[in-house]
A = this chain, B = another copy of it.
Amino acid sequence: MSEPGESVPPQGRSQTEGAAWGQPSVPTLAVVGTGLIGGSFAAALRRVGQVGRVLGVGRTPASLQRARDLGLIDEIADLSYAAAEADLIFLATPVGAMAPILRDLAPVLRPDALVTDAGSTKADVARLAQDILGDRYTQFIPGHPIAGSEMTGPEAADPMLYHGRKVVLTPFDETPGVLQHRLIRAWEACGARVALMTPEAHDRALAAVSHVPHFLAAAYMAGIVRSDDADTRLNLAGTGFRDFTRIAAGSAEVWRDIFLSNRTAVLRELDDFEQALRLLRTSLEGEPDAAALEAQLEQAALARRFWGGRSQM
């Protein structure tokens, strides 16, 4: 691991934007919310020597203190100080907590600073930025790293969390290319692969492959635990159950905000799921249709195996 002062440029990238040889590409980073997502971003940039100083901002002093003890951040700061100092401000808070932060940021944001977030929905965050930041909204690039863990807090932070993962950025049409390039470079330094799309396309896709699975796993888990013989059942649960329900252990507050933020797309995808469920159920009900049942199971199995082979997950 190289120290910030000894950093070398990432492989094959020219050092534009005034980041001279030997200087980290993000001189000062402010992380708002120093848990798994924010802490891992700071740790990933530090691991490759691409960040100078890390300021930590948050609402829980004990958590900030742990982040500092763990070396994820260098200093605990308030938002005004962070806004005055930081070249890149990374908002790693639940989507529901973002409005007041943007309101506090708006009057103190440096004109050359770049702001991004890691929220799981993007259309609402893009709207917030436009509504609250005024003509500074072009300094904000909504983002979403497709990575996570059911673990939370600074202790869960991992410099390799984003390695090999996708990060979606949804820049405004008016956002200068040089800002986009700076953020893409930071994420690539964390080992991530960046995809650009519209906020709406992102939200529909994420409702389908992330939010609805969580919704279903949570509904399933809540149903099981409310059943009369929950204990006997859970006692026989195996690895299939373990994997199917793992996401249901995630933070209720975070997921409440995600579902509320992406409500329309989630409800639409739930409709699609319920239709697929009815179709599969029909093959089992009344006079069962073994061939139709197997055909649908085979379609699902082939699709999952193909995805698994392609994504190497």
Contact = CB atoms under 8 A, between A and B. Distances in A.
Nearest to A308: B249
10 contacts: A146-B236, A204-B233, A209-B233, A213-B220, A219-B300, A239-B313, A248-B301, A248-B304, A249-B304, A270-B281
Interface residues of A, number: 93
A29 interface: no
A238 B296 contact: no
Interface of A: 146-149, 165-166, 168, 195, 201-202, 204-206, 208-210, 212-227, 229, 232-253, 255-256, 259-260, 263, 266-267, 270, 272-277, 279-281, 284-285, 288, 290, 293-301, 303-305, 307-308, 310-311, 313
Nearest to A296: B222
A253 B293 CA distance: 9
Contacts of A195: 235-236
A225 B147 CA distance: 22
A216 B220 contact: yes
B250 A224 contact: no
Contact of A217 (B229, B233, B244, B259): B244
A290 B273 CA distance: 23
Given A222-B276, A226-B276, A311-B237, A248 B300 contact: yes
Contacts of A273: 219-220, 223
